[in-house]
Structure 1
Amino acid sequence: MKTSSFFALLLFAIGLLLLPLNRIHAEEAGQPVKKLILPGESFLLEGHPAFILWPAEDKRQDPQPWVLYAPTLPAYPDSHEKWMHQQLVDAGIAVAGIDVGEAYGSPKAQQAFTALYTELTEQRGFAKKPCLLGRSRGGLWVSSWAIRNTDKVAGIAGIYPVFDLRTYPGLERAAPAYGLSVSELEKTLGKNNPISQVNKLAEAKIPVYIIHGDEDRVVPLKENSATLAAAYQAAGAAESLELVVPQGQGHNFWPGFFHCQSLVDFSIDRARAGAGLKPLQKQGAKSIDHVVVYRDLPYGQAGNKPLLLDMYYPTNQAGPVPVVMWVHGGGWKNGSKDRCPATWLVEQGYAVASIDYRLIDEAQWPAQIDDCRTAVRWLRQNAKEFQLDANHIGVWGGSAGGHLAALLGTLDAPPGEEVSSRVQAVCDWYGPSDLLTMPPNVVGNGRTAEDVAKSNGARLLGGPVRELPDLAKQASAYYQVSQDDPPFLIMHGSQDPGVPLEQSQKLHEQLEKTGVPSTFHIVAGAGHGGKEFQTTEVRQKILAFFNEHLLRSAPPIQ
């Protein structure tokens, strides 16, 4: 053995010996063995720091479903992964890991994984089949163990995971962890390099979900995740693996990697399956093919509160795609981004962004439209990151969301706006267009002045609407129409008991009078929303409208 190799091995061994001693001293001093990003416990197991992020007591089960995470190093899991792990524990899934240092999937790392697995399954009531989650070098950790324990694995999730030692960390850096010289490790790659044996995972049809950027220079997609996918294809197990490849992304802290709800949902369902439990109920675009969901992306800040949106993105499209922003209803006082009826557009090649905005118990007008504008700007500013067509952004909303969507299309841009908040198409579902004539804001027909002062419109504006006419007009699309407004599609139920049909009729007429393209569709027999708005006919009209104005062949509105 060369002298340099000998000293490298010696230093590596000394480091491994000192690590548990340092941790023991920490325990004796009453300090935690490991600093955790979420509530849990840390402990020593065979001299290695280990941890468990626990679900709340009322969400724990027997056996306990869990995720085995890697890499567990002093810095990992880190703050970037906090949201992801929070979703897991909120769903009743424990997260556990063990620190083996820079072991790169070596036999020593595998032994520690087995020790943790044995401790949790035999002593703590954890399920016999966890889902494994590997980030970057953690892919070496989880895949090397899974290859040798296919009967103990419910699934594998990965964020730009490494499977090929030759690409990362390289044989020279990996050799000491294996107790071998570089030449010796090279000769044993057939058994020590996970990518050489991933066919075992494919043959066992272990479910896999990976998100990996196509411009990753640290962990190249081709030699790692794409090679694993090819092995699954060759084994006839392609349906067991999903590989999401965000275009233009490398080995970085892009929020999409760490707010990937689709990867989290996969991990939750596989962990539950490993505990003999049914998958959680699917909602919205989770059940649509060729879609990845990015959840709780911060698009702005209101005081100490982050403003969040969810992004539904088609994975079967190349290049930038047009985007439709959904604005929820709820009388400006209720509702959230979580229920998004626009997700079916993803199947048609659109990205869909569903936003939250400040409700009237948090802030009054114009906070709501300010948040909507901020969201549009964020979509433009992050268009390259998420492969969005910044020139073709549409907005669609229902009820109070329709009111805000219509105002996005009609209000003049704020002075000094550096990034445009203009949209190129508006779909308005039964939104109030004139707050001054909305029945809840007008005394009469049994409504007293006291009733009017308590209306949602009054709470939005900060006082009875009729007493604030200028502010009410500013917050009413009917009074804001101008020739440069984008095209409108307005839909309203013929039997709407909440927002009179006339509200949409007069907005449509004003748009046409001003020369703005507008289509008005009355949904026969429909009330304020409902199943009548989910028909094939309605969807075809919406799709045709957005296709006409948002596809790249359509010129952007200036």
Structure 2
Amino acid sequence: MRILSPLLAALLLVTGLPLLTRAADTPAAATPKTSVWNGYEKLDFEVAGKPALLVKPRTPAPGNPWIWRTEFFGHEPQGDIALLGLGWHVAYLKVSDMYGAPAAIDLMNQFHDYVTKTYGLNQRVVLEGFSRGGLYAVNFAAAHPDKTAALYLDAPVLDIRSWPGGKGASKGDARCWKQAMDIYGLTEDTAKDFKGNPLDHIDALAAAKIPILAICGDADKTVPYPENTAILQERYKKLGGNIDVILKPGGDHHPHSLKDPQPIVDFLTKYAYAK
């Protein structure tokens, strides 16, 4: 039986969700379905009943580095494709509509354990959080810093009250807000003092010296920069953390990423697996 990390256990207690345990062996599809994605072999399978995939480079780089898109696989994939060309694997687990809650982090940990054991991937992964994927990426990194090589965040949601809650400059999303409150066990009243957001875990990231790259538009109306990444950047720098923010002047929530992914590649290849 797996013992939860202290941080993940604390998250579960704060949200009122039951502690999740599992057997050591993660159930997964015995024979992955094979296809081609952007010229690379893609394996589709399931882990703990959730759709998952792994895209394999033609020649793996030393140490088997990998990047894990936590949401919206295939959207603006130029960074992923560039890393594939350098021998990185690209992964995805579909845990949509779980907003980075402890139940999602537990499923992600099962996926991590499965792909590292089955495909020999590095124990430390770069987590790639696009939009609401930022909730999953940062919360996983905070709960499992020993399994995290770096964070690449792209217009990330870092506070559910900002989005989907719409408690600040964003209009939010009523349907998604209800989903988020339900999975965290919150009400409109208790959400005001909620402490399970990525922005509540900045100290844990800094203590683990996790390098962070963030790409944002300074005019993002969906996930406002001042309510999310600007707070992360200020606090992380004060804690001595390594964070690089590429701010797109006048940029809205879309398009994500960069037309030329070289700055993404440069940051991750320099810092993610540095000893």
Fold shared, TM-score > 0.5 on shorter chain = yes
Match of 2:205 among 193, 201, 206: 201
Kept after mapping to 2: 8 A contact 1:131/1:157: yes
- SS in structure 2 opposite 1:166? coil
Answering whether residue 260 of structure 2 is matched by residue 259 of structure 1, we say: yes
Quote the Cα distance in structure 2 between the aligned partners of 1:46 and 1:145: 17
> Is 1:221–2:203 an aligned residue pair?
no
* Alpha-carbon contact 2:34-2:41 (below 8 Å) kept: no
Work out the CA distance in 2 between the residues paired with 1:154 and 1:66: 9
Contact 1:103 1:177 in 2 (8 A): yes
Look up the match of 1:54.
Answer: 56
Q: Any residues of structure 2 matched to 1:62-461 within 5 Å, and which?
A: 63-71=63-71, 76-81=72-77, 83-170=78-165, 171-187=177-193, 189-190=194-195, 192-237=196-241, 240-253=242-255, 257-273=258-274
One-letter amino acid of the counterpart of residue 80, structure 1: E
Structure 1 runs, 4 residues or longer, greater than 6 Å off: none
How far the C-alpha of 1:202 sits from its partner, in A, is 2.1
Counterpart-to-counterpart distance in 2, 1:62 and 1:235: 32
Residues 196 and 271 (structure 1), Cα distance of their counterparts in 2 relative to 1, 3 Å cut: closer
C-alpha contact (below 8 Å) 2:67/2:80 kept by paired residues = no
Which amino acid in 2 is paired with 1:174?
A
Alignment CA distance shift 1:250-1:130 (3 Å)? same
Structure 2: gaps of 5 or more residues: 1-27, 166-176
What is the CA–CA distance in structure 2 between the aligned matches of 1:33 and 1:39, rounded to whole Å?
Answer: 7
Tell me how far apart the structure 2 counterparts of residues 31 and 154 of structure 1 sit (CA, whole Å). 26
Q: Deviations over 1:325-375 (max 9, x none)?
A: xxxxxxxxxxxxxxxxxxxxxxxxxxxxxxxxxxxxxxxxxxxxxxxxxxx
Deviation of the 1:243 alpha carbon? 0.8
SS at match of 1:147: helix
Partner of 2:17: none
Alpha-carbon distance between aligned partners in 2 of 1:261 and 1:31, rounded to the nearest angstrom: 32
Query: RCO (CA 8 Å, sep 6+): is it higher in 1 or 2?
Result: 2
Q: Which residue of 1 aligns with 2:23?
A: none
Separation of aligned partners in 2, 1:193 and 1:258: 30
Secondary structure class of the residue paired with 1:103: coil
Overall identity of the aligned pairs, in %: 28
SS at match of 2:227: coil
Q: Which runs of 5+ in 1 are unaligned?
A: 1-23, 277-558
Aligned to 2:13: none
Matches of 1:262 and 1:199, distance apart in 2: 26
Conservation of the 8 A alpha-carbon contact between 1:64 and 1:125: yes
State the 1:136 CA deviation: 0.8
Q: Is the 8 A contact 1:136 1:159 kept in 2?
A: yes
Which residue identity is paired with 1:77? Answer: F
Alpha-carbon distance between aligned partners in 1 of 2:37 and 2:102, rounded to the nearest angstrom = 26
Cα deviation, 1:163-204, whole Å, max 9, x if unaligned, reads 1111112253411232444444444x21x1111221221233
Q: Secondary structure at the match of 1:265?
A: helix
Distance 1:115 1:34, change over 3 A: farther
Computing the radius of gyration from Cα coordinates, the structure with the larger value is: 1
- Given that 1:84 and 1:258 are in contact with CA atoms closer than 8 Å, whether structure 2 keeps it comes out as no
- Per-residue CA shift, 1:447-479, capped at 9, x if unaligned? xxxxxxxxxxxxxxxxxxxxxxxxxxxxxxxxx
Contact 1:67 1:271 in 2 (8 A): no
Rounded to whole Å, the distance in 2 between the matches of 1:179 and 1:216 is 28
Give the TM-score normalised by structure 2.
Answer: 0.77
The superposition leaves residues 16-54 of structure 1 with CA deviations (integer Å, 9 ceiling, x where unpaired) of: xxxxxxxx9xx89x9959995653101000101111111
Q: In the TM superposition, what is the alpha-carbon distance from 1:122 to its structure 2 partner?
A: 2.5
The 1-side partners of 2:271 and 2:49 are apart by 30
Cα pair 1:34 1:50 within 8 Å, conserved = no
Cα deviations by residue, 1:236-268 (Å, 9 ceiling, x for unpaired): 33xx111111101011126x6353311122233
Change (3 A) 1:136 1:101: same
State the Cα RMSD in Å: 2.7
How many corresponding residue pairs? 236
Tell me the distance in 1 between the aligned counterparts of 2:140 and 2:237: 22
Q: 1-side partners of 2:271 and 2:114: how far apart? A: 21
8 Å CA contact 1:157–1:209 kept in 2: the answer is yes
Please give the alpha-carbon distance, in whole angstroms, between the structure 1 residues aligned to 2:98 and 2:32: 25
**Is contact 1:42-1:49 (8 Å) kept?**
yes
Distance 1:34-1:259 versus aligned 2 partners, 3 A rule? same
Q: Evaluate the alpha carbon distance shift between residue 109 and residue 100 of structure 1 in structure 2; reply closer, same or farther with a 3 A threshold.
A: same
Contact 2:35–2:42 (8 Å) recurs in 1: no
Summarize deviations over 1:417-449 as a string: whole Å, max 9, x none.
xxxxxxxxxxxxxxxxxxxxxxxxxxxxxxxxx
Q: 1:101 Cα shift?
A: 1.6
Residue matched to 1:292: none
In 2, Cα distance between equivalents of 1:133 and 1:202? 18
Partner of 1:522: none
- With over 3 angstroms needed to count, the CA separation of the structure-2 counterparts of 1:102 and 1:43, relative to structure 1, is same
CA contact (8 A) 1:50 1:97 kept: yes
Partners of 2:220 and 2:199 in 1: CA distance:
17
